[in-house]
Structure 1
Amino acid sequence: MSRTEVERVAPAELSALRHALAIARRGPSNGPNPRVGAVLLSPEGEVLGEGWHRGAGTPHAEVAALVDAAARGSDTAGATAVVTLEPCNHTGRTGPCSEALIAAGIGRVVVSVADPNPVAAGGAQRLRDAGVDVQTGVLADEGRELLGAWLPSVERGRPFVTLKLATSLDGRVAAADGSSRWITSEVSRRHAHDLRAEVGAIVVGTGTVLADDPSLTARNAADELHGQQPLRVVVGHRRVPPGARLHGPGGELLTVQSHDPAAVLAVLAEREVRHVLVEGGPTLAAAFVRAGLVDEVHAYVAPVLLGAGPPALADLGIATIGDAVRLTTRSVLPLGPDVLIVATPEPTSTSSKEH
């Protein structure tokens, strides 16, 4: 935020925006809609109402804040709406928030992040056209961080893809006899379940289904299913056995009879999936990497040496070190005896392959 922008934002508005960012996190992280928070302030800087988006089909944060203000008996004429994402300007499952704010007599709107969705964007301009003072780009880094995978998913027109790897120190995902339970520790596996709870879909290949019989569920520390379960996606032409654990409790099971990662993501985009976790074996992992469709890698690395067994990735067709897919490390997190490395591919390694 520039110095001029800082001068245009009152301390009460900055405080309200930080609160809006905090309450927005109460909303679901794995639905088709973004996490959004809103706080309404009087001209004197007092809180009139607040709200957050609770999931698809429910009132947006701005409308929830207006409802809260009405319940408190607050007059919103001339008030300031502080929101984490630009108010929408379209009618979907709910009406346009820009119109709701105008009807409520809001005089000023402070926005953290502009909406990149061409369907919903335009709220800021609609408000300005109605005479509302609008300030955008306030605490934008914090706003983008809140939106997580939703933001790049909308910007790229496809689900954001996280590739999960769980390997030995020498890069093996199983021993020579195929056994893989357990390379990583219980601490790492619990962290991985928390990651599953944040995504809209988990993708594996038929080879993993036949070899490991996974359930692909998200469970808490008590080994209970989380309230919201990701879609379970099996890629390939072989059939999921009738007795497979994938038919048990958990998210909906979807089979995609294709080996093309772009086709898989297109199917999931139609279902409004914003974040995909690829958990398949070396073949599926390599296919997504080769296609340039991996946005982030979560590598759980255990201090174990196997010396043989399948590697984390199948052949990428790389013959020389100059063609290596290079990544930028974003974080390193110790997990019991293991380490989680979160990294993102460098633009030069994927931009030419992006579908």
Structure 2
Amino acid sequence: MTVGSHRVASGDEADRYWMGLAIELAKKGRGFVEPNPMVGCIAVANGHAIAQGFHQRYGGHHAEVEALAGLGPADLREATVYVTLEPCSHFGKTPPCAPFVLERRPKRVVVAMPDPFPAVSGRGIALLREAGIEVDVGVHRSEAEQLNAPYLKLLHFKRPWVTAKWAMSLDGAIATKSGDSKWISSDRSRERVHQTRAKMDAMITGIGTVLADNPMLTARPKQYNGPVRNPIRVVLDRNLRIPLECQLVASANEHPTIVVTLQRSSSRKIETLRSTGVDVLVLEEGETRSTLEFALDHLGTHRCTHAMLECGPALMGHAMDRNCVDEIECFVAPIVLGGNSIRPVGGSGIEKLCDAQHWVLSSSTPFGDDILLTYRLANS
């Protein structure tokens, strides 16, 4: 994609500027490219952007092809190509990008971060350098790694990145003492949740939430750029209490649904659920993993990159106790519930403050009078 822009001076400041724009471009692929990483690419000549592109969908052209397909060596002779992730050097869904860039002979390539994927892992950078192209690595590396943290977690730990979501009052309650929780957050906040669901590979909840709310766990945004993709729905149900008439079971043929249960559960009900289209996973006796950990391992095996946890305090606390949460999205509403209202996180908890997990604020975004606080686990 050829573009025009104002001129930016050369040097380290220019490298940071252009790579920052490439990272913003890459973000446009969120929810469409998984399990691939998000990647942005900008070609710059004489202080002007002459082309840009990003990886738009899984199986589609990579960012380098989107940006440079209309250009040749004459266009890029004095150009610098900024790309947020090392150009790949292997055949996958598409041909490798490093040879594609090499054919166009840019003067210089700036890479935010190497790709640790075993089939790449430095080979793309080496190929360009061996051909005499100047390659610099590490500009905005931290930002690039944060952008693709779900991809990196799946690659290294074989599990999806888990975002825990809840809405709470100013005094930290998710429901009144009677359990009333509809609705703590505003319409605008709930619209944002549906937009986020459309970018998830999986939604995870517990049987308590299913019995209390009979949710659909689908993405139903009113305003969304692009086709709406619904996540896999996962219910953790140790004793297989899920009602056959609930919305999740009734819509299982339309939206992929997994129920995770224990081996002792009724075999007849398991077969009945499977006949409706529900994928029932059975955790065998003697397993040390919990149903949540078993579900995350299963999702990782199927290359699910990003899962959202929407559940009650018991499961949320268990997830925290087992260190299964990487990120928190917390909507804070301008109300106070007081009394014995219900808190978002149960579980075992900790005895000493020094043992508390430390979270780092990623963003703070107002939605009307609500505010969305996004935190990531430190060093995640």
CA contact (8 A) 1:300 1:338 kept: yes
Equivalent residue number for residue 346 of structure 2: 314
The corresponding residue for 1:254 is 258
| 8 Å Cα contact 1:218/1:225 also seen in 2 | no
Letter in 2 for 1:254: I
Contact 2:195–2:221 (CA under 8 A) maintained in structure 1: yes
Unaligned runs of 5+ in 1: 1-5
**Quick one: distance in 1 between partners of 2:241 and 2:89?**
44
Deviation at 1:327, TM superposition (A): 3.4
SS in 2 for 1:189: helix
What is the deviation of 1:170? 4.0
Matched, 1:87 2:87: yes
Q: In the alignment, residue 66 of structure 1 is paired with which amino acid? A: L
Shift of residue 77, structure 1, vs aligned partner: 6.2
Asked if 1 retains the 8 angstrom alpha-carbon contact of 2:71 and 2:104, the reply is no
Matches of 1:322 and 1:54, distance apart in 2 = 43
Whole-Å separation in 2 of the counterparts to 1:319 and 1:140: 37
Q: Name 1:37's counterpart in structure 2.
A: 40
Per mean C-alpha deviation after superposition, the further-off stretch among 149-158 and 210-219 is 149-158
Identify the range of structure 1 (126-135 vs 330-339) with the bigger mean alpha-carbon deviation.
330-339
* Residue in structure 2 matched with residue 213 of structure 1 by the alignment: 214
Give 1:222-237 correspondences, 5 Å limit. Answer: 227-237=228-238
Deviates more, 1:14-23 or 1:51-60: 14-23
TM-score by length of 1: 0.80
CA distance in 2: counterparts of 1:321 and 1:50, whole angstroms? 48
- Label 1:265 to 1:83 Cα distance change in 2 as closer, same or farther (>3 A): same
Identity across matched positions, percent: 35
**Structure-2-length-normalised TM-score:** 0.76
Residue 135 of structure 1: how far off its partner (Å): 1.1
Answer yes or no: is the 8 Å Cα contact 1:219–1:225 preserved in 2: no
Cross-structure match for 1:3: none
Supply the distance in 2 between the matched residues of 1:276 and 1:110 (Cα, whole angstroms): 31
1:213-234 deviations in Å (ceiling 9; x for gaps): 1111223246999612222221
Alpha-carbon distance, 1:106 to partner: 4.0
**Residues 306 and 226 of structure 1, relative CA distance in 2, 3 Å threshold:** farther
CA pair 344-26 structure 1, distance change in 2 beyond 3 A: closer
2:300 and 2:66 map into 1 onto residues whose CA distance is 28
Kept after mapping to 1: 8 A contact 2:159/2:301: no
Quote the residue 2:330 is aligned against. 299
1:98 alignment counterpart: 98
Contact conserved, 1:218 with 1:226, CA < 8 A, in 2?
no
Q: What is the root-mean-square deviation of aligned Cα atoms in Å?
A: 3.4
Q: How far apart are the structure 1 equivalents of 2:225 and 2:100?
A: 40
Look up the match of 2:127.
Answer: 126
Contact conserved, 2:316 with 2:347, CA < 8 A, in 1? no
Q: Distance in 2 between matches of 1:208 and 1:222?
A: 26
Find the aligned partners of 2:210 and 2:321 in 1 and give their Cα distance: 22
Paired with 1:19 and 1:344, the residues of 2 have a C-alpha distance of 23
Q: Which 10-residue stretch deviates more, 22-31 or 74-83?
A: 74-83
Compute the displacement of 1:337 (Å).
3.7
SS of residue matched to 1:25: helix
Relative to structure 1, the CA distance from residue 313 to residue 45 in structure 2 (aligned partners, 3 Å threshold; closer, same or farther) is closer
User: What secondary structure is seen at the aligned counterpart in 2 of 1:26?
Assistant: helix
- Once the two structures are superposed, what CA deviation does each residue of 1:79-106 show, in whole Å capped at 9, x if it has no partner? 5432121111222212221122223444
Establish whether residue 69 from structure 1 lines up as the match of residue 71 from structure 2: yes
